[in-house]
Chain A
Amino acid sequence: QSALTQPASVSGSPGQSITIFCTGTSSDVGGYDYVSWYQQHPGKAPKLMIYDVSKRPSGVSNRFSGSKSGNTASLTISGLQAEDEADFYCGSYTSGSTWVFGTGTKVTVL
């Protein structure tokens, strides 16, 4: 149950697009289309942003999009805004019927 690998930090200017990658194995990310992404602002609970690789819950901006290729999933934030500055975590269902989170990525809006 090793954590999925994410870059520690990603930054971009307002209006730009950024992409966060999440690398796992064939036993988690690569084996199932059950990948989710969460946004966490300081002192707050995580919020679901993407589920089933690329689906957006109601109320989540369409500036957030997800995809997957092989053992790597990705989250793209387009039209970066100041309010997007937060920690982002990917997560995946695993072959052991458990769940695993990524190491987390701090998004900074320059």
Chain B
Amino acid sequence: EVQLVESGGVLAQPGGSLRLSCAASGFSFDSYGMSWVRQAPAKGLEWVSVISGSGGSTYYADSVKGRFFISRDNSKNTLFLQMNSLRAEDTALYYCAKYSHYDSRGYPDYWGQGTLVTVSS
């Protein structure tokens, strides 16, 4: 059974940094792309970023490009999202999602329960 457990969400200051983690189990982690998707309170889903199975390819939404960085540690089956220069509009529930394929040419198929990031002074 695929399991994804996010952590690291907290109250952060505007301009600050935060690192989210996602512990994965139940599948061959390094064989699949992984992504982050966020959902602001009472709003829709927004795709944030994807990383290939090896970590060699990464892609970002324009709204976070240059501020957020996705990475993975395949030896520990863990996905990360480094969030810098945080803004109020980054406030959201952040979901970790497994991709259906090794690289970005796929779709999110399994989701964690999310971790809440609140950016406020």
Contacts and interface: CB of A to CB of B under 8 A. Distances in A.
Chain B residues touching A, range: 20 to 34
B50 interface: yes
Interface residues of A, number: 26
Interface of A: 1, 3, 34, 36, 38, 40, 45-48, 51-52, 57, 87, 89, 91, 93, 96-104
A34 B106 contact: yes
Given A1-B62, A98-B104, A45 B44 contact: no
Given A1-B61, A1-B62, A93 B50 contact: no
Given A89-B44, A93-B105, A51 B100 contact: yes
A45 B107 contact: no
Contact of A99 (B35, B62, B113): B35
A33 B2 CA distance: 25
A51 B59 CA distance: 21
Given A38-B108, A52-B107, A98-B59, 19 more contacts: A3-B44, A34-B106, A34-B107, A38-B45, A45-B113, A46-B95, A46-B111, A57-B109, A87-B44, A89-B45, A91-B108, A96-B59, A97-B59, A97-B104, A98-B60, A99-B107, A101-B47, A104-B44, A104-B45
